[in-house]
Structure 1
């Protein structure tokens, strides 16, 4: 079967390059030979961008087997490795790197035979999509299209296949009920199973969590429970037990909010315990994310009709194929494989979502099939809504769904609430934000491509019906011309700003560089306090404020006119039109608030400081290249608006985490959760981890790796990973050092047969990197903060965590202000302890896990060791000694402290 394939297959790793020919021969190639062959011959590859990176040939293209899989099996995930491909094709996993190229040809033949299977579940739409891909010169089309039989009648595909959502009556308010501790324990028993071990900590946790669901007896004072539960307690089922019990009895929805998409996926799996039947689970459990995560069908239609060109157009066709089979249309962490968009170097996947708030709601021809609207309506009827901290705050602050706002919340990963609130309630008057607002108001710039629609296009019927509304739209469009436009960064660099806002940003840039103390040539972002402004900045502030005031006035007037049109209810206003105008009012209100915050920032220039806020100027740079400039404002204590906006209207909330107190006392948890700003204090619960850390883990502090010596750091990582035979998670505080270490050790590890993957290096999304790491016990993974939090890799795949050093907070203007306000050095220590605790928490996830936590820093203060669970052995030693410890890891020695004593 493989002999019929006319194309050779190429595989490249850091240890070599191999080619499998149609004649069955496999031979090693030099990188130069591989590049020359790839330029002349269509080659079968797996993850072309990754192979291109390893060859050092950025323009590599070919027949990527991942694209073929995405076409044949849309909305199905595959770990994008030879092992993952073997699993889905039923072939044996190749035993060496040299065997992979031949294996790719076998797997290709197996996949190309899929259309011959009469039970192929994704046949519908394949022929139609293949014809479109053939016109776009998709490399696989000549091999795929002839294997597909033209259907006798037109296929129901995508827009005709997607179901429509239905409107329903508003959900009644939850009934007032009381759930007892005995009832909670009985529900927990049902979820854990009859034969499960009765865990005291989990049962106590579940009963304590149930207090969040008691009836509220004071206005603006929710029943708030702060619960710290160590790893292994079983938090998820612990809070799902009272949450589901209350939902059943009260008829209300509980929103379970997380910080990471990984935990959202994990929660979705755990709810199978609640509702084993898939149909019932889909109805009663809904995952919600921000609208920018979901496919916009109108943007997709534009892309399919010529809005995209080249490789981006192929991506649009594959996304359309996926959309017809997707369960929820979630493009970020849903059932769209995370690796698919990354296969397209200049991918247009972000243009397929609504990231600019330009939705026209009922004016869209696909409104009744919209994934976003369907998710919103499904969540209004669901019992459990799995959301995230950002979405919860956005909905509470400016959501359209005020009638269905939840009364009960569970905030898992509660230690991140402070940071999520910090991002949500901040304001930034920057060039990038300004140009986005301009596009939202005016529509596309002349000559630009895409479906961007301005206010006039989105509200044309209102403008024709209401003269005052039409005048306000026109005035807003004229005023928006004062905002930054395309090319603004170059004009500022050349000293030729256009308009009052760009002039203000030019003054911000000049003052920030003038006050730089770290060396502007370092390539990092620059910032300075908004204090003692220069004459140029003060002079620019007046015209900039006038320009923004000229914009906000017609926006406010337009909002009022839209509300008046709703009240008048003209004959042309049917249900969809009303929904569209209501959406426009909400979107307009959000943008009006944004401009209002900008005006407050400008008023601060030359004026008195507001003690509730921290204001500063910044020039955003990446590797020496400027990408944004502007003024920033953050709450000194963002838990205050969080408490006012989210907690006070709620009737009950549980805030939980394994590190809620950040190694401190309950005062820390209360301050960072917003509890301090409520009239009634919270209740507390603590359950320590059931794991035997004294025997399962050891903390090693390496004392002889010189700080700042990149070669020594790379040597340490390389030796430790070789000693442990992989299974290492390497955590960095700086992307530059991560890349430097990776470049120095990747080849060495490959020669040892130890795959190394790295965030910010490999052209693979973070979620897929974790999936690859989890799937291969000999692989290692390096990354930054995103891998420190929320990564759940139990078992042999993660047996060593290596941190490059103590994760001290960055000395930013915002951090300095909070440090002064919250205790100086102790504030820094709390942050470090929380980061260390989260990183250590990746190591031991099950009762049979064993592992080392290695910190490559002799400067680790003893006072920070409380970050680690009580009883965990902590030893300071040389790198040679640490390598000897790591060599014991593959054998999974049960008592690490015995090894220490024997040494």
Structure 2
């Protein structure tokens, strides 16, 4: 029997027969038809599906139909772990139960998510030379105990405290893997997971892993295996992910961490301490000293080649003695490895040899500015806790469109890009031009599906226009804090306050503290109190909570029900124009004769604004309000772009000002 999208999703279909409380979602059905058509016609598709459309079923159902009808293989890539867990733990098992179609689904994760049995055994044998801290020894023993029970060897299974210091000594690494030659190969967790992934009809991965595989596929390699169709959910993050993946960064702390893992001179710990080779000790010391001198020279540089924002506008701004020192260390490790034969230590030495060479080459490319299509910058943060300054060298592609176009759109028959926030307008003006331009998609179809929620009934938008300039923090913070307090009282807590910078977040946290204490509210501050996941747990558990968050709380956070009834946006989320990569992109657009504000800065801010707005209403039962404290949404001509991108909603102006 050949099934159609309607047979599964429409009223009277298979899902309606098996799902309690089924309601027809016309938008979901329309999206499913658009995805099905794109897959069948081997076209690309941009699909914005507002919150509540049910976009996961809208692409999973056509994907499974292609598996059944054409034996095609589908990769679904997401940005957040939460969505991956929803797909593999809830949506796909439900569809497997409901549909008379057999298909296999699996999650693909990077190597370093899996325990390596060989490396664990080596770490246990050499633990006294690897770890000076007794707590790390306890953690290693806990990993060993867990290894006797786990069936998957996945880091995500671990429910006991485990530092990265220990985990990086026992996880799977490609340079340290002997493959089928390893005595533990039959029990290898990573290889078993890789086989499951390659045999699956539907593979769930994250964007970083997906683009890693794409880059390898261009070199006739790859690890996901052949596939025909791709869905990129949370696709509004693709430009950021590609920038990070195809960029490069090296930090002083990261280099010293690799060198300490090799040899910690202070405690006589590390891999080289197991081998007791004096020449290798000396080479590691010289590399560590060169690293200290190299990064300090960047921190001490005050010439014209290093702009105030950290952007590096000239090659070779400091001498690079570090790359030769790392290459010399790699050479010494190679000699030591050759004398170690086929021992476990030899594989570890090979891994560190590769790391040293890769670091040397990366640093040389960053200093030489080898790729003129990248922006280069240095980040120098002040010293803390008796340590030196935190210094990072970085680069990223200024324009990712050629990369995405070549690796994805030119190579994959059909790619569906979907999100609740892809377009910069609504209604007849789809507003996909910005996303098309940024990602290099010239052809393909597009569909914009509004949220089924009744925002006129469920929500209001409050706009304050008299609080002053949000860019003038000293003047804006006092009156904005009063406005926040007013609206927090209106919702009796249950409030997200979203910021675009830690400077404003910290200023508001300080000003809101007395109000919160007097009125019995708990203020949860990102970056201070606890990790983000625990912040969310505390927020959900305590109704009289105010959560102050920056970038990571604007998107990918789902708090359904009455626990979140108020979202306050303190400032329109324009990217900081002198941030090095943003500045480089602005310069490139201007040099090409374009208008950076209208072509890049404004549409990017509108997409982020829609993400923040979308935190509020997550179901048909949710109610609440969004507050914007930035007057520009009402007083600037471009402010209309933000309002036009939202669902139809009642707007109330200056309620706080009127009651003062």
Task: Give TM class, smaller chain.
Answer: 0.7 to 0.9
- Pairwise CA distance, 1:206: 0.8
Check conservation: 2:287, 2:329, Cα contact below 8 A: no
Check conservation: 1:212, 1:408, Cα contact below 8 A: no
Check conservation: 2:230, 2:415, Cα contact below 8 A: yes
- Pairwise CA distance, 1:690: 1.6
Aligned pair 1:820/2:587, yes or no? yes
Q: 1:552 to 1:791 in 2, by over 3 A?
A: same
Q: 1:721 aligns with which of 474, 488, 494?
A: 488
Which residue is equivalent to 1:830? Answer: 603
Q: What are the residue-to-residue correspondences of 1:692-731 with 2, within 5 Å?
A: 692-705=454-467, 707=470, 708-709=473-474, 710-731=477-498
Q: 1:593 to 1:874 in 2, by over 3 A?
A: farther
Which residue is equivalent to 1:527? Answer: 310
Q: 1:354 aligns with which of 171, 174, 178?
A: 171
- Pairwise CA distance, 1:789: 0.9
Which residue is equivalent to 2:448? Answer: 686
Match of 1:793, SS state, is coil
Check conservation: 1:202, 1:238, Cα contact below 8 A: yes
Which residue is equivalent to 2:87? Answer: 267
CA distance in 1 between counterparts of 2:272 and 2:138 reads 24
Aligned pair 1:857/2:630, yes or no? yes
Q: 1:370 to 1:212 in 2, by over 3 A?
A: farther
Q: 2:28 aligns with which of 184, 188, 202?
A: 202
Q: 1:701 to 1:713 in 2, by over 3 A?
A: same
Aligned pair 1:808/2:557, yes or no? no
Q: 1:425 aligns with which of 246, 249, 252?
A: 246
Which residue is equivalent to 2:654? Answer: 877
CA distance in 2 between counterparts of 1:683 and 1:528 reads 38
- Pairwise CA distance, 1:259: 0.9
Q: What are the residue-to-residue correspondences of 1:257-406 with 2, within 5 Å?
A: 257-268=77-88, 269-276=90-97, 284-297=104-117, 302=123, 307=131, 309-316=133-140, 328-331=152-155, 334-337=156-159, 341=161, 350-351=167-168, 354=171, 359-362=176-179, 367-398=185-216, 401-402=222-223, 404-406=225-227
Residues 623-673 of structure 1 deviation map (CA, whole Å, 9 limit, x = unaligned)? 797544354321111232233334433232111111113447222121233
Check conservation: 2:424, 2:432, Cα contact below 8 A: no
Larger Rg over CA atoms: 1
Q: 1:253 to 1:512 in 2, by over 3 A?
A: farther
Q: 1:758 to 1:617 in 2, by over 3 A?
A: closer
- Pairwise CA distance, 1:731: 1.4
Aligned pair 1:650/2:427, yes or no? no
Residues 383-418 of structure 1 deviation map (CA, whole Å, 9 limit, x = unaligned)? 222211011112232487447243322100001000
Q: When the two structures are aligned, how many residues end up with a matched partner?
A: 618
Residues 684-725 of structure 1 deviation map (CA, whole Å, 9 limit, x = unaligned)? 122122222222222212234454244444444344323312
Check conservation: 1:289, 1:391, Cα contact below 8 A: yes
Check conservation: 2:297, 2:318, Cα contact below 8 A: no
Check conservation: 1:702, 1:878, Cα contact below 8 A: yes
* Greater mean deviation of Cα atoms: 236-245 or 687-696: 687-696
Match of 1:660, SS state, is coil
Q: What are the residue-to-residue correspondences of 1:12-51 with 2, within 5 Å?
A: none
Check conservation: 1:411, 1:655, Cα contact below 8 A: yes
Q: 1:600 aligns with which of 365, 375, 397?
A: 365
Match of 1:774, SS state, is helix
Q: 1:539 to 1:386 in 2, by over 3 A?
A: closer
Match of 1:540, SS state, is coil
Check conservation: 2:231, 2:416, Cα contact below 8 A: yes
Which residue is equivalent to 2:228? Answer: 407
CA distance in 2 between counterparts of 1:439 and 1:479 reads 13
Check conservation: 2:73, 2:226, Cα contact below 8 A: no
CA distance in 1 between counterparts of 2:361 and 2:619 reads 50
- Pairwise CA distance, 1:881: 5.5
Which residue is equivalent to 2:59? Answer: 239
Match of 2:227, SS state, is coil
CA distance in 1 between counterparts of 2:120 and 2:461 reads 50
Check conservation: 2:79, 2:237, Cα contact below 8 A: yes
Q: 2:499 aligns with which of 732, 744, 751?
A: 732
- Pairwise CA distance, 1:544: 5.8
Aligned pair 1:248/2:74, yes or no? no
Residues 275-316 of structure 1 deviation map (CA, whole Å, 9 limit, x = unaligned)? 249xx99x9332233333445556666469664754445555
Which residue is equivalent to 1:494? Answer: none
CA distance in 1 between counterparts of 2:142 and 2:479 reads 45
Q: 1:408 to 1:517 in 2, by over 3 A?
A: closer
Q: Which runs of 5+ in 2 are unaligned?
A: 590-594
TM-score w.r.t. structure 1 length?
Answer: 0.60
Aligned pair 1:661/2:443, yes or no? no
Check conservation: 1:693, 1:869, Cα contact below 8 A: no
Match of 1:227, SS state, is strand
Residues 511-568 of structure 1 deviation map (CA, whole Å, 9 limit, x = unaligned)? 35877886xxxxxxx513323x6xxx55725x6666677789999x99xx99xxxxxx
- Pairwise CA distance, 1:829: 0.9
Which residue is equivalent to 2:301? Answer: 511
Residues 73-118 of structure 1 deviation map (CA, whole Å, 9 limit, x = unaligned)? xxxxxxxxxxxxxxxxxxxxxxxxxxxxxxxxxxxxxxxxxxxxxx
CA distance in 1 between counterparts of 2:363 and 2:383 reads 25
CA distance in 2 between counterparts of 1:262 and 1:809 reads 26
Residues 595-621 of structure 1 deviation map (CA, whole Å, 9 limit, x = unaligned)? 5454333334xxxx9552222344244
CA distance in 2 between counterparts of 1:429 and 1:347 reads 18
- Pairwise CA distance, 1:872: 1.9
Aligned pair 1:230/2:31, yes or no? no
Check conservation: 2:305, 2:317, Cα contact below 8 A: no
Check conservation: 2:313, 2:376, Cα contact below 8 A: yes
CA distance in 1 between counterparts of 2:37 and 2:164 reads 48
Check conservation: 1:438, 1:483, Cα contact below 8 A: no
CA distance in 2 between counterparts of 1:479 and 1:867 reads 64
Check conservation: 1:512, 1:617, Cα contact below 8 A: no
Which residue is equivalent to 2:618? Answer: 845
Q: 1:480 to 1:226 in 2, by over 3 A?
A: farther
TM-score w.r.t. structure 2 length?
Answer: 0.79
Check conservation: 1:438, 1:480, Cα contact below 8 A: no
Q: How large is the Cα RMSD of the aligned pairs?
A: 4.5
CA distance in 1 between counterparts of 2:133 and 2:525 reads 31
- Pairwise CA distance, 1:851: 1.5
Q: What are the residue-to-residue correspondences of 1:533-548 with 2, within 5 Å?
A: 537=316, 540-541=319-320
Q: 1:741 to 1:386 in 2, by over 3 A?
A: same
Residues 192-212 of structure 1 deviation map (CA, whole Å, 9 limit, x = unaligned)? 332633322111111211244
Match of 2:319, SS state, is helix
Aligned pair 1:444/2:444, yes or no? no
Residues 546-595 of structure 1 deviation map (CA, whole Å, 9 limit, x = unaligned)? 6677789999x99xx99xxxxxxxxx99xx99xx99x9999988986665
Residues 400-452 of structure 1 deviation map (CA, whole Å, 9 limit, x = unaligned)? 74472433221000010000000000123543454456578xx3344657765
CA distance in 2 between counterparts of 1:815 and 1:856 reads 24
